[in-house]
Amino acid sequence: MPELPEVETLVRELRPYITGRRIDHVILRWPGCVVTPSPRAFVRRMKGRVIQEVSRRGKFLRFVLDQGSWLVHLKMTGRLLLLSAFEPDPYARADFILDDGRILRFQDLRKFGRLYWVADPERIFRQLGPEPLDPQFRPEDLARRLAGRRGRLKALLLDQSVLAGIGNIYADEALWRARLHPMRPAASLNGEEIQRLWEGIREALLAGLRHHGTTIQWYRRLEGGSGEHQRYLKVYGRAGQPCWRCGTPVIRQVLQGRSAYFCPACQR
């Protein structure tokens, strides 16, 4: 599933092309991708709207319109592609025809991605935790969010109500950078470990952003190309390979149904 760096990459690539553009009409090919309002009302409310701003909240893309906001959650296999002309595509779920003739396509192989039109996006966003790259988010804020938590670190990093935007890849990468075991109870961390975790989260996410995201399977950039960060991963997907720090083979362990990759020697 695209995480903060992948979604932010799409936002940055979309901005210069679609800010100020009007959505002439919408071709909704699979109504099941619309969460709210009804599919018919979604098409009606999107038609003629001007895209004033493109931003991100957690793993959501937010398009601020002249009336309301359009939200996109890509989930596992969702993609946004900007096309100069119509192309047949069995996985196209919605096409947004812009006033310059281009098509912003929502493509989704497995139909997990979702679209929303909302008058107030806080209706959706209020459930999300803080943004880990927000300059106002400090180590003491992370300490407060983890205080008294009995859950394991990896599971809590995946909880979008704790921090917004982190998924399986960057949780493993952050914990490796922080030298923390994914199974550690959050409440067991001391102040120095909280500081390392805060730094590890930021470093992992910023590295992903520098390389335009991680393409393991589904994620693609706006014009269809892959991200580059998969070439720089420290532990994720590297089971059996030597740890970049100490040389011990990386191991994979299942935690609450999700894979966790870590070094058993230098992550404690």
Q: Annotated active-site positions, please?
A: 2-3, 59, 258
**Residue 120 structure tokens:** 């107030």
Helix 191-210 and helix 139-146, axial crossing angle in degrees, nearest 10: 110
SS3 label, residue 117:
strand
Distance CA 204, CA 196 (A): 12
Nearest to 21 by CA among 77, 63, 80: 63
Q: Which residue in the block uniquely carries the two structure tokens 């940055």?
A: 12
Question: Cα torsion at 194, 198, 201, 203 (round to 10°)?
Answer: -130
Nearest to 200 by CA among 181, 185, 219: 181
Per the rule left: phi > 0, alpha: psi between -120 and 50, beta: everything else, 18 is: alpha
* Contacts with 211 (C-beta within 8 Å, 6 or more apart), sequence order: 5, 227, 228, 229, 231, 232
Cross-strand pairs, 63: 54, 70
